[in-house]
Structure 1
Amino acid sequence: MELLTGEPLALDLVNTRANTPSGAEYDALATSGTFQSWLAKQSGRLAAPGRPLTRADLAALRELRGHVESALDAVRQAVPAPAEAIAALNEALKAAPSYSYLEARGAVLAGGTRRDGSDLDRLRTQLAEAALALLTDPGVGKVRQCEAPQCRMLFLPAHPRRRWCSPELCGNRIRVARYYQRHKPTA
């Protein structure tokens, strides 16, 4: 299953659960293997854990995804976000806070940012920070759901006329279906 990636990281997280063209549900957070495939597509935006994630770890990420999704739905509908979603996101934000550090590299001083905490805590915090950035962005109201039947993907359109998560996937399927509808023989 080809997932939509390249949207803001919080949307990519929500989009890890998708419907296949046949309508079956696909979840990139279901197994360590599918999660690793999704994580590889996020290289450069998300630090990979140093160890394979357990079932419990994946369950924690699915729970976080659910909270991000419910907060995003509320913001898109201009209603208050569920208190449990806010609390869960705040808890994830606190799990592995970042801190600045200074180190000597010979005669040169260098600095950077590090995080304490387990691999899962660091990952959850990064994803929660991405959700915080999206949920507090003034443009969050522009987030749309794909108009293709059975597609649940969300995207932030760069162009106001964009209707599908992907012109190559859903857009092409819709255009082909319309063509066949117009050209089907009448009985």
Structure 2
Amino acid sequence: MILVGEPLALDLLNTRWRDGDLLGSGALFRDWLAAQRDRLTPPEAEVDLDAVRLLRQAVRECVEHARAGGTPPAPALRTVNEALRHAPAHRELVWPDVLVRRGGDVTERLLAELAEAAVDLLTGPALGRVRGCAGPECSLLFLPAHPGRRWCSPALCGNRVRVARYYRRHNASAPTARPE
């Protein structure tokens, strides 16, 4: 299951859910990267998935603490800041355009881009609007486009909730057989 379209930091967090992990294999992660091709520089080689998982966990801790009005833990902040430091962005004039380039290896460059997206979310006004999915047992986060949105995906969790409600309503009203 690949859900994309939220701010990049939330899409990173949503690579892990109750029954799955898009960072569980290189193939799944490449599919996620392909879905993010308009927002991330595609890595030209394999990326260290353990490093991406570590950053994802740090971003999750930062987002959870910040959403609750607290200060993110120092180790999580340190992980995000290290990702930023290892591959800082610099602008380069390539006439007539200005390109953004990064030093570092392929993993460091990707981590820096993801960490920048996390910093943008954590320090921007959108953080206060981030919601958790109302679907039972769903851990995905989203930024609602309208105030009534309750699910990560109306087609996934929203549909599950509606089907369960329908099932409960119709089974509750069904007559039960009485033993004679």
TM-score higher than 0.5 here?
yes
Q: Does 1:43 align with 2:37?
A: yes
Where structure 2 has 5 or more consecutive residues not aligned to the other structure, the ranges are none
Distance in 2 between the 1:35 and 1:117 partners? 20
- Please point out which of 37, 58, 75 is paired with 1:84: 75
Distance in 2 between the 1:111 and 1:151 partners? 42
Quote the residue 1:121 is aligned against: 108
* Preserved CA contact (<8 Å) 1:96 1:122: yes
User: 1:52-91, CA deviations, whole angstroms, 9 ceiling, x for partnerless residues?
Assistant: 23xxx10110000000000000011001110111111111
Report the aligned-residue RMSD.
Answer: 1.2
Q: Does 1:98 align with 2:85?
A: no
Q: Which runs of 4+ in 1 moved over 6 A?
A: none
Distance in 2 between the 1:110 and 1:153 partners? 38
User: Is the alpha carbon distance of 1:111 and 1:141 closer, same or farther for their aligned partners in structure 2, counting shifts above 3 Å?
Assistant: closer
User: 1:112-140, CA deviations, whole angstroms, 9 ceiling, x for partnerless residues?
Assistant: 22111100000000000000000001220
* Preserved CA contact (<8 Å) 1:4 1:153: no
Distance in 1 between the 2:59 and 2:14 partners? 11
TM-score, normalised relative to structure 2: 0.93
| SS of residue matched to 2:66 | helix
CA offset at residue 186 of structure 1? 4.5
- Please point out which of 163, 175, 179 is paired with 2:150: 163
Distance in 2 between the 1:110 and 1:81 partners? 38
Q: Does 1:69 align with 2:68?
A: no
Aligned residues: 174
Quote the residue 1:58 is aligned against: 49
TM-score, normalised relative to structure 1: 0.89
The one-letter code matched in structure 2 to 1:26 is G
- Please point out which of 141, 151, 160 is paired with 1:154: 141
Describe how 1:7-46 pairs up with structure 2 within 5 A: 7-19=6-18, 25-46=19-40
| SS of residue matched to 1:43 | coil
User: 1:125-164, CA deviations, whole angstroms, 9 ceiling, x for partnerless residues?
Assistant: 0000000000001220111110111111100111111110
Distance in 1 between the 2:71 and 2:175 partners? 50
Where structure 1 has 5 or more consecutive residues not aligned to the other structure, the ranges are 20-24
Q: Which entry has the higher C-alpha Rg, 1 or 2? A: 2
Quote the residue 2:120 is aligned against: 133
Distance in 2 between the 1:103 and 1:117 partners? 20
